[in-house]
Chain A
């Protein structure tokens, strides 16, 4: 059975276009910890914690108060502007607190806490829709914003903003990012295997919104089952699938564009400037749910993995569920050195598991000491492995040294701002130098300097006006 499937996948892959990018590296993926497992549904949480800021942009404004009864899918906070999305109740129950709680970014953020009544009563505004083609792009964008959809690959940029193509620009390449190049994570893989029809339907909706007649799917070639399912769901449509070489960071927006559209996003510009729009599979599935079922983004698949988890799993989780609650269902943790939200290459380490799952939270990783490698940095031996691994064509060793010497002007000349912080350089470094960390410092300093200069220019302009 398995062999037969593989043969079929080989045949499909052979007919697909192959693509890749320059640079990058191969990781110890450890995807097998979860890749074969069935996606479980998390038991209902006792309470959910919903920060008003689970997205990039302005925080949403709470419209409920302590003691209010809310239903599942009900809007509990209004968007704080155009670049913002509302927050929804992900369970039905009672609002028990509206107060600052620890956010996954490590700071206290205003959050709405709902005690679950375990009834799962749906809000009456959630109604299925039969057809989307009679809706205008604008109407669909409104639906997407109302559903609170943000980029679920981790960036959490509001999706309706990305879909609002600025005047004078045109989307030519609509790309579905199904690379999932991060190590350990298999949640996108699981979603594609289970919901390929819905994802493809979601892609059709985006094609309708953007007015394009063609879409592209890029999947890394280490996901044969997802390739097969996505192919079956999309073969009757004008959708072209690309088999991408398994190499990190293939799923970076800039590098999937390079591989499929053969274009480069200019430094400091956005993908739409070269006619490209890229969406993660989970985001596209959320768009389908919102448009066809009226369902806001209240649930996502999370990979709970790492050698620190007794029983790694992939789970359907209500947004706002405590991570502790998920770990209990994985039989707890052992020998954990680091707790990471997101993937091991770009995720954020957190000191405590006492945080909720948010919209961009693809992974919950508990890494043992031997997995995470905390060896101290040694002197650079100039082996050039970081230069070869940098997908942006930078020289991480030099940028890192410039940053250490506080020579930020030079770091700027050496294109520090183009670093995407993918971590490929630090991964390959034999002397374990903190390359990304140092470059981040340089980027912060450069931004601060630019801001200062802009303010100075502004002030001088104002002064000139007075004279």
Chain B
């Protein structure tokens, strides 16, 4: 003894078991029920599209790492999560090449061009969806939605609402289970809620953003004399609130900021749904709040222990 030199480094000397890979694996597990629901309602094509998205996303991530001579980050599973989320935002009738283009766009332009994991300013999957809707609107919305089993309606519930056709609305139970028109991953509120509860139990996300987001939509629906239950079950709200708005990189890190962010998402969603030209506003509202995240963080710094608020250091220092 006494001859061996031990490793010397700064404290703390122990770390938790959490890693990005473990977190992302949990997100994938949480997305599994919605995947199962998608296969039940839309058939195997939903699974195929998801497979294309995941494969292309991982491949793009790998290639981007090679091109930029950076250590590959495919092992952290974040590209796989992005892939699944892109697929979940596609109609089941979407062609495979749309899925592929969306995945390349999300990883290469939105994520890697901004510096890779942790540096993107908007959610890659949502940005890809917005990109695809702009480029191939007809294949992404409206008539692109194929009927889920046993439904008689011809459009998404929100589509019906914006056209004023309220007689053909699916029942609450159908909407809760997922028996309605919509994108692959957004239809079954039940499956998404199961995933959300799993994420909260595993402490991957906190309850704050999803609950406040959904509650804001609920309250605004009441204020505007709409059916609040319909509004929280329809469209991509559950998917957006649980899996998209909670994206680490593009949502605020401050506790107060998370509340403002979630309320903002709910507010914008309802403004777009009720007054906008699109029937659905979840993706754009989250994208807008993503962009607002840095400024929200700036004004919602947590109160520091033992620091009195009235301290006027900041303006003075900033003058110089």
A residues in contact (CB < 8 Å) with B: 25, 27-28, 183, 254, 258, 264-267, 269, 324, 327, 332-333, 336-340, 344-354, 365, 367, 371-375, 378-385, 387-388, 390-395, 397, 409, 412-415, 418, 421, 423, 426-432, 434, 436-437, 440
Contact = CB atoms under 8 A, between A and B. Distances in A.
A327 B252 CA distance: 48
B11 A436 contact: yes
B304 A394 contact: yes
Given A349-B9, A350-B6, A387-B254, A381 B117 contact: yes
B5 A384 contact: no
B253 A397 contact: yes
Given A258-B305, A349-B8, A393-B303, A371 B14 contact: yes
B189 to A, nearest CB: 26
Contact of B1 (A258, A324, A367, A375): A324
B11 A381 contact: no
Nearest to A183: B14
A388 B6 CA distance: 33
A427 B15 contact: yes
Q: B interface, by DSSP: helix, strand, loop or mixed?
A: loop
Q: A interface, by DSSP: helix, strand, loop or mixed?
A: loop
A348 B2 CA distance: 18
B117 A345 contact: no
A427 B8 CA distance: 17
Interface in B1-43: 1-2, 4-16, 18-20, 22-23
Given A353-B1, A379-B116, A381-B249, A27 B14 contact: yes
Interface in B62-90: 73, 76, 78
A419 B18 CA distance: 23
A354 B2 contact: yes
B249 A267 contact: no
Interface stretch (B220-228, B271-279, B306-314): B306-314
A384 B253 contact: yes
11 contacts: A267-B307, A324-B1, A344-B12, A371-B14, A378-B20, A387-B302, A414-B301, A418-B305, A418-B306, A429-B16, A431-B19
B12 A346 contact: yes
Contacts of A381: 20, 23, 78, 117-118, 248-249
Interface in B194-229: 206
B73 to A, nearest CB: 8
A413 B319 CA distance: 13
A318 B290 CA distance: 59
Contact of B249 (A382, A418, A437): A382
B87 to A, nearest CB: 22
B163 interface: no
A365 B13 CA distance: 10
Contacts of B16: 25, 28, 427-430
Interface string B281-312: 00000000000000000000111111110000
A415 B308 CA distance: 12
Nearest to B15: A373
B13 A392 contact: no
